Structure formats: structure tokens, C-alpha cells
Chain A
């Protein structure tokens, strides 16, 4: 959830900040939380089973293959967008004179190693990394809010546009924050019982995250003209903060460290889900008695990433991302239908 703030969502919402961005936040939150609630309730009927197992048991085989392939493809793209924007950020801000292939190669090395871990270990690693990075997130947030140059006036200008109706892209972008629950289709294999008690807390947290995403850069750079020129609004915001007496003077580096960690976590989760989905539809390939299908899929992911990085520009990427996001909410509703079918079949069989 926190990751998505740091990637491409802010840009979509920033573009619409004066034309409905503010209203998109509560609408998106409600839709997102609603989808999350329905989804988790449906999944609580199938303890310890991932989506491939559910589809195999209760629906026909070729429905399963097509749908899982489609899902794997969608998840792969989610991770790919994060990875590509992250490589761009690295090239622009951290090491401009390093060849693209080296940067992509280093990250792909790490990520291809991490998606091959068993599902339980991915969960442990995620938990650990997020815990370790939490103090830095809080630090940057607090520094941003209490900074001398943060002007609440511009924030008020932004809030005066609350009556505009948001576009579909803005609503989808706001909903995307809540879509972490969709990773449950694979991680349910490790969960015994899903606890629906704290859902309202997640909604509150999501609203806060979205607000911070929008309000932070606007407060620093200006609502109308200021934020327009920046490709990565939050990074420029972090760059304008300064710890005069600290060890590292520019907050940008702490922010980039944080961004790196969390992006890697997000990409790992998305690509792990995608890989598990693909693994469940392709037959096993045995080499020396070990199942190397995982390695082949990881290599394919890396190859596609290299191709994508070589052939698309920032602009193209942005429009592809936008259309991908627009299709998210319909895809989620479609999955709810399929799960409903599976639940009906299950109740019929019992």
C-alpha cells in the first residue's frame, strides 16, 4: 500500500488535482474497502487454498487455465511498472552515469532470487523489511509536515476544488492503493483464518496515505503551477527537505533508500504471485530431478523486462499504465463473480 504512493499513482492523481482529485480519495477508499471486504469474505470460505486450487476444484479446467493466465499477466505488469519506474528513478537520481543494463541487471538479480523463495518466506521477508523501514517513513512524514517551508495555504487552495467530479482514472488510481488484498489469491495458501476485524483501520490508513501523497508535494511546491513541472512529485519534495545537523544532509537519500526497499518488497510480492500462477498452469520441467520451471519463468520475466526497458519511453509507459489501471476495478468485480460461482458449487457439493 505504501509502495504505490511512491510510484506512478501520484502522477495520475496530480494531473487531476484541480479537476476532481480530492473527491477521488473518499470515493476510491469506499470502493476499495468494499471490494476488499467482499473479497476477503469470499476467500474465507476456502481456507488454505490459493486461487488455482479453488478453480481446479470447482470449475472446469480450461476456464481455470485462461483465467489464471490472464491474472498472471496482469500481476506481472503490476510488478513491471513498479520496476521500470524504479529503474528510471535510480538512473535519474542516484547514479546517472551507470548504463541502464547494469542497473536493471542488479535489481533483476535480486528480484529473480527473491521470487523463487517459498511463499511463507516471502511473507516473513516482507514483514521484516516493512518493520525495519517504518521509522524512516515516519521520520520523513514528520519532517515534511513540520517543515518551515510547508505552506498550508496552498493546501487550502487544493481543498477548495472538492466539488469537481473525478474521472475514472483518478478513482482507479485511488482504489489501487487498497488492492493489496488481491495478492491473497496466492498467499491464502499460508493463512489459516482471515481476520476481518481491523478492516476499518486499513481504510483509515489508506485515506491518510492518499492524502499525504497529494498534500505533501502541493504544500511544498504549490497547488496550481508548482507541481506540474515535476515528474516525480514526492522525490522532489524529499529533495527540498534538509537535515542540517544530520549525518546525511539531504533527506533525499534516506527517502531513496526507503523507496528502494519498499519497491523491492512490492515487486517481489507481485512477481511471486505471478510466478506461482504461471507455475500452476504450465507442466513441470525436470532437470536433474529438480523442478526448474521457476527458474525458467524468472528468466523469462527478466528478458521481458530488458526488452520493455529498451523499447519504451517514459511517455509510452505512462499511457500504458493508465490504461492498465482503468481496467482494474472491472477485473476485480469479475473475480468476485468467479469466486461467487465457486462458492455456489461448493455449497451444492456439500
Chain B
């Protein structure tokens, strides 16, 4: 039986150059080591496997020694052994036994700084790209005994990435847990690398608004675990997936818990104002200038009309043109090499802004509106919601172009109805009075 395992593994591993089949020979016995050199830690193999072999007298003792190592893994058959080798295990082929040891090199262990969601007063470090280190960091912030960890195996039938599900057993709802377990089991993609990809595969229809939260901050993870949500950690990415997430979660930042009460209220108000400005302003501009100029005070209406006097297009074209330029600028600045960075700012500011106004292509009011929209879009703390609201503003602009202010109101109320209609794993997405108190916990 051991012989067939040996032959099977030798056959499967013979293709790659980094697969090693290494005999250890003593005067009276010989064992084999089979492992992938690029995945395993050479030092550990030397220390734990090779040296003791030559220090112990009998294979029997050596086998007991190996079985009592911390990295010992059960041998569960040829296929499982092959999988394990490709995950960094070492197969020790003894004369009558095969022992698997998990001696993989842990790479990418360094804990990264929080780059996407930064706070002033809170912890500055995010998670790392290694699953074990991440679980360590999460447990260090949530020392409760009811925190359960489930290793749900590997997902992605080609990439085979480790996935872990973490939740607080005493707080989470059973239906949510069942639902997410079912969803993980039903994944059938070949390569899954990030939490965002996971989120897309969990939601069957094509959605605009995110229903799971993607974050890298351990304090946010601990806070959400205490609210009864689950956390999915993936090997190879510092971003985790938290669910179920409702609308208010996307507009909350961890800063809200660290500052005094009224400062928090003020910041939340600013965020909502930013949200309304970034979605409504272009549509209201089109509605007011082209359909209902009598809405504003007479002085304001005259100012707007005066600055639009030189523009040769109708208002919706002007708005669309400027918004498009702004979107291109924002997209490009994600990918700019560091040497060209300042050039882009100059291009955006000077050329698109000032020169376009002076050439008479857009009105100066439009520049103000577009910059206000661009800036206030990034007030939303979570990226996905900010991007979703960028899309929404074009929908509202379309409705405003067709039917003026009526279209804006219809679009806004339609958006509200749509948000109310979404479910995030059974929880209502948008609901008045949905604070922690109504969820039954005081956090």
C-alpha cells in the first residue's frame, strides 16, 4: 500500500522542476521525502525531519516522533496527499507508513498599514496577506470563547485558496449562518483571489449596490463580529468580507466610535450632505437651467444664466462632458506612475477647468458643480458605495434631461424604493430606525 502511494506521487510530481523526491539513507534503512521545494521551508525540514532521522535508532521511534510533531497531518488517501503536497506538506514515506507534515513557508507575513480606510485616532495597522496571521490578529481583538472559526476548505477548483468563516456563535442568526454556508459550498469558479470576487459570486443577480462589506481593518472586524455578523477571510488578500451589511454600514466609519458624541453626529450629517450633493447636483442643475429657471431666487437665476451665456451646447451636454472628463481624471489617477502624478493634476486643474471656461465651452458654475461632486463623492467611507453612487448620479441626470425636476424627484424616490427593496442575506437593506439598539445589542 505504501508502495502504490509512492509510485502514484512520483508519477504526479515528476513534471515540475521544483518537486523533490529525496531519499534519506541510513546503513540499514531508507526512507523517502517528497515535497515541493518552492513551497516548503528548507530549514524546518532539516531541523524537524532530517536531523532526527539520523539521531534516532529505529524507524519505529522515528515514526512515533513524527506523529507527535505539531505539524502532523493525517494521511487520508493518495489524492488528498497530493493536494496537501501542493499546499506545502512533506510526505515522509516510511517502509510501512506514510506520514504527512505541514511545513509550508509562510510568505507575506508582514502586517500592512491601513491604506484604504484610514482613521486619525484608531489603530493604524490593517491585516496581512497570510491567512494564519489574519486569524491571529482577529482573535487578538476578540478574545471571546464564543468566536468560532470554520475552515471551509478550498474554493476555486483551480486556484484552491483557503477560506475561513469566523463568527460569534452566541450572537449570529442561524438563518444567516445556514445561508452563507450554502453559498460557499455552491461556489464553482476556477479562480477566486479576492473578497470582492467572492462577493460578486455570492449575489446571483447583477447588482449595483454592495450587500457585503469589504474591509481591511481589524477593529471594524471586531466591531462587526460583536454585532452578530460573520467574517470570511481568504488566503492571499488582506481584505475580508463581512456580511450581512445594510446601507448604514456603508456610510459609517470607525472614527464614529472614537470621537465624542456631537462630533460624530456632525460628521455623519456631513456625510449624508456629501451623498446628496454628489448624486443630486448635476441633475438639479440640468432641471433648473433647462426646465424650471424660476426655482431659485432671481439673483441666483440671473447669475447662472449669465455664466451660461457663452456656452453653445444645451445644459445636459455640458454637464455630461464635464462629468466624463472628471471620471476619466479620477480613473487615470489610480494608475498614474509616480513620475507623472503632478502633471495630471496640472492637466486636470488648469486645462480642463480654467481654460475650458475661458474658451467658452463650459460655464464657470459647471466647474464648481463638477468639483463639488467629485470631492463629495469621496466623503463616503466605503469605496463600493461611493462607486455605486457615482453610477446613480448618471441615472438621475438621464431622468432630469428627459423631464426636468419631475424626473429628479421621480428618480430620487425611485432610488429610495430600490434601496428599500434590496435584501442583504435576509436583512432589509434600508430601514428607518435601524440602530444597534433595535438589533438588541448595546455595543
Residues of A that sit less than 8 Å from B by CB: 90, 94-95, 98, 102-103, 106-107, 109-110, 113-114, 117-118, 120-121, 124-125, 127-129, 131, 247-250, 253, 257, 260-261, 264
Contacts and interface: CB of A to CB of B under 8 A. Distances in A.
B405 A121 contact: no
Contacts of B418: 113
B405 A128 contact: no
Contacts of B428: 120-121, 124
Contact of B295 (A114, A248, A264): A248
Contacts of B296: 247-249
B292 interface: yes
Interface stretch (B11-19, B67-75, B185-193, B409-417): B409-417
Nearest to B417: A114
Interface of B: 291-292, 294-298, 399, 402-407, 409-410, 413-414, 416-418, 420-421, 428, 430-432
A291 to B, nearest CB: 17
Contacts of A102: 402-403
Contacts of A98: 403-404, 406
A95 B404 contact: yes
A248 B292 CA distance: 12
B413 A90 contact: no
Contacts of A121: 420-421, 428
A221 B17 CA distance: 94
B269 to A, nearest CB: 13
A6 to B, nearest CB: 15
7 contacts: A94-B404, A94-B406, A114-B417, A128-B431, A128-B432, A131-B432, A249-B298
A117 B291 CA distance: 31
B28 to A, nearest CB: 71
Nearest to A117: B421
Nearest to B423: A121
Contact of A264 (B407, B413, B431): B413
A127 B432 contact: yes
A95 B414 contact: no
Given A102-B403, A117-B417, A260-B409, 5 more contacts: A106-B403, A107-B406, A128-B430, A249-B296, A260-B413
Given A128-B432, A264-B413, A106 B295 contact: no
A124 B413 contact: no
| Residue of B403, B414, B420 with most chain A CB atoms under a 10 A cut-off | B420
Contacts of B432: 124, 127-128, 131
A124 B430 contact: yes
Given A124-B431, A128-B432, A131-B432, A253 B295 contact: yes
A124 B406 contact: no
Nearest to A249: B297
Contact of B410 (A106, A248, A249): A106
B405 A129 contact: no
A239 to B, nearest CB: 12
Nearest to A99: B403
Contacts of A248: 295-297
A316 to B, nearest CB: 25
A106 B421 contact: no
Contacts of A129: 413, 416
Contacts of A131: 432
Given A247-B296, A249-B296, A94 B405 contact: yes
A95 B292 contact: yes
A290 to B, nearest CB: 13
A110 B410 contact: yes
Nearest to B411: A110
Contacts of A124: 420, 428, 430-432
A20 to B, nearest CB: 37
B417 A125 contact: yes
A250 to B, nearest CB: 8
A344 to B, nearest CB: 38
Given A121-B428, A249-B296, A128 B420 contact: yes
Nearest to A246: B297
A127 B416 CA distance: 12
A125 B416 contact: yes
B404 A113 contact: no
A113 B414 contact: yes
Contacts of A250: 294
A95 B405 contact: yes
A110 B413 CA distance: 8
B419 to A, nearest CB: 9
B404 A257 contact: no
Contacts of B404: 94-95, 98
B420 A103 contact: no
Contacts of B297: 247-249
A257 B413 CA distance: 11
B259 to A, nearest CB: 26
Contact of A109 (B291, B410, B430): B410
Contact of A106 (B294, B406, B430, B431): B406
Contacts of B431: 124, 127-128
Nearest to A91: B406
A250 B301 CA distance: 13
A-B complex: 8 closest residue pairs judged by Cβ atoms: A125-B420, A249-B297, A128-B432, A114-B417, A110-B410, A127-B432, A124-B420, A124-B431
B417 A113 contact: yes
A90 B420 contact: no
A84 to B, nearest CB: 16
